[in-house]
């Protein structure tokens, strides 16, 4: 049996109203690097290509041309960090920027900070936990707590879920299901 073709998400592109403002936000606040920029050929708008990974030309693309009255065209763009300390740093960084709808959510399988960028696109900055629980799930995440306290509280919460398992066990289960 041949495994199903499952394209992997590699980048997100959004239309923006103010390319300069959005470029500043994603380079100075989100600390992404501009890998390229220019005017499109088949899509005649200005683009800025951004990355945080030297092996990826771009992970995020800003495209000029979103109408002033257009609602956001994405549910969220998600950016992963490597530790609770990095998540906390980003929380304080975006809070200092004065973003809207800033909130911390404990999903059990991830700790997340959500907020709106300057054009009201929902952004998630997250860190995976070592546990799996069924989703959707969301409790308040208090980043004022110590890392140890967040770990302890999250593990206690996760163990109450009937589908709880260590994330490596869930990944093994998923590997088997993806082979079907």
Residue 9 is predicted with a pLDDT of 72
Predicted TM-score (pTM) above 0.95: no
The domain boundary residue, chosen from 48, 68, 88: 68
Distance between CA 71 and CA 14 in Å, rounded? 12
**How sure is the predictor about 103, in pLDDT bands with cuts at 50, 70 and 90?**
very high
- CATH code where residue 36 lies: 3.10.180.10
Does residue 4 register a pLDDT over 80? no
Looking at the structure, tell me whether residues 85 and 61 fall in a common domain: no
Q: Which residues contact 135 (CB under 8 A, 6 or more apart)?
A: 107, 108, 109
Looking at the structure, tell me whether residues 9 and 54 fall in a common domain: yes
The model's pLDDT over 28-58, given as tens digits with 9 standing for 90+, comes to 999 999 999 999 877 789 999 999 988 888 9
Distance between CA 145 and CA 156 in Å, rounded? 15
In this prediction, residues 71-76 reach a mean pLDDT of 78
Does residue 140 register a pLDDT over 90? yes
Number of domains the chain contains? 2
Residue 76 is predicted with a pLDDT of 86
**How sure is the predictor about 1, in pLDDT bands with cuts at 50, 70 and 90?**
very low
Residue 111 is predicted with a pLDDT of 96
According to DSSP, the residues that pair with 34 across neighbouring strands are 50
Nearest to 136 by CA among 167, 107, 173, 105: 107
Does residue 180 register a pLDDT over 70? no
Distance between CA 56 and CA 146 in Å, rounded? 33
Domain extent for 54: 1-68
Nearest to 21 by CA among 66, 78, 86, 56: 66
In this prediction, residues 109-124 reach a mean pLDDT of 92
Distance between CA 17 and CA 67 in Å, rounded? 7
Residue 176 is predicted with a pLDDT of 83
Looking at the structure, tell me whether residues 98 and 172 fall in a common domain: yes
Helices (H), the chain: 19-24, 84-97, 147-159, 167-178
According to DSSP, the residues that pair with 47 across neighbouring strands are 38, 63
Q: Which residues contact 154 (CB under 8 A, 6 or more apart)?
A: 106, 108, 111, 129, 131
Looking at the structure, tell me whether residues 46 and 8 fall in a common domain: yes
What mean pLDDT value characterizes the chain? 90
């Amino acid at each position: 049996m041949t495994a199903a073709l499952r394209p992997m998400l590699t980048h997100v592109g959004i239309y923006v109203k103010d390319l300069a403002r959005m470029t500043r936000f994603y380079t100075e606040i989100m600390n992404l690097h501009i890998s390229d920029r220019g005017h499109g050929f088949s899509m005649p708008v200005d683009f800025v290509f951004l990355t945080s990974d030297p092996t990826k030309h771009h992970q995020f693309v800003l495209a000029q041309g979103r109408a002033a009255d257009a609602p956001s065209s994405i549910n969220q763009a998600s950016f992963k960090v490597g530790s609770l300390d990095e998540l906390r740093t980003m929380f304080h960084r975006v809070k200092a920027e004065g973003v809207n709808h800033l909130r911390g959510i404990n999903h059990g399988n991830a700790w997340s900070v959500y907020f709106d960028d300057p054009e009201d696109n929902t952004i998630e900055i997250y860190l995976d936990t070592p546990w799996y629980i069924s989703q959707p799930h969301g409790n308040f995440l208090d980043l004022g707590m110590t890392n140890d306290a967040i770990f302890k509280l999250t593990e206690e919460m996760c163990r109450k879920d009937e589908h709880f398992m260590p994330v490596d066990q869930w990944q093994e289960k998923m590997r088997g299901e993806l082979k079907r």
